[in-house]
A and B are shown apart, each in its own frame.
Chain A
Amino acid sequence: MELSCKHVWSHISGYIDDSVTEQLREEIERHLENCEVCSAVLDSTRNIIVLTADDRVFELPVGFSERLHERLAEVMESPGSDLEKE
């Protein structure tokens, strides 16, 4: 059976995560071989995921780590900070 472009789009995410069935994967791949639009949609989606996941896009605020460990150290040193026992 020939898949429509819409059908392929509805499974793009599952296809990228390799969570579609073997049969569906084969059908999608057959469709991709002959469909420039769906190939470009898949490629651009993958590309966008890779770019947004890059550490440089969402950076920690400057000094985040220092402030975190400072506050933690204060809590640890404060009276009654012993770890809760069960």
Chain B
Amino acid sequence: MTAGTPTAAKERNERELIARILSGEKDLFHDLIRPYERMLYLTAYSIVKNETDAEECAQDAVINAYRNLARFRGDSKFSTWLVTIVVNEARQKLRKAKRAKEDSLDETIEGEDKEFTPAPLTDWREIPSEALERKELRETLRKAVDALPDIYRQVFTLRDLQEMNVAETAGALGVNENIVKVRLHRARMMLQKTLAPYLRSSGVPARKGFWGRMPWS
């Protein structure tokens, strides 16, 4: 049944585009990458944490992908291939700026016994998306994500901001799927812990009852 889904259609279109680019219509590469601009930028930003560097990494990744397009094998999705390239570009940039400490960091932060507890509340009034019209709220959310430890922020960005699945995220970051799940859980709990008490008391317009009771309860 997958042949008829929008995703399958999109992948088919991409394969056609790639074939045409490789046989000479190279300008079509602009169209091929257009849907992924945001993904490229956000992924790079989650690693280098700096707008200028993130933009440069995104550009370098696109050029790298263009030059190596013939090496793209249809056995993975184009988006997965592209995100792997931008992760590598961003990590290289980071390494140039400072010695990469990620591997040793993984060991220390990821101790299994470390507990991540959320902020306990007894009532939650849903903050509707319209509240994002307020610049202050957008900044608060951005800062909270920026403040996550690197390894958690990267997973959160790929999984929750870009809606990549666990396997794709694991592949792009070069970690196993279980690590993706653990890091995502911790990232979400940390955000809940810092943001929930703030959002609750900040006078952000809330809506009672939307999430209030689960539909199945």
Contact = CB atoms under 8 A, between A and B. Distances in A.
Interface string A56-76: 111011001101110111011
B91 interface: no
Given A49-B188, A72-B66, A56 B132 contact: yes
B46 to A, nearest CB: 9
Nearest to B46: A58
Main secondary structure of the interface of B (DSSP, over half): helix
Contacts of B15: none
B50 to A, nearest CB: 11
B214 interface: yes
Contact of A13 (B27, B66, B184): B184
Contacts, number: 167
Given A52-B145, A52-B161, A76-B26, A83 B71 contact: no
Contact of B30 (A49, A58, A69): A69
Contacts of A69: 30
Interface of A: 5-6, 9-10, 12-14, 16, 19, 29, 32-33, 36-37, 39-58, 60-61, 64-65, 67-69, 71-73, 75-76, 81, 83-86
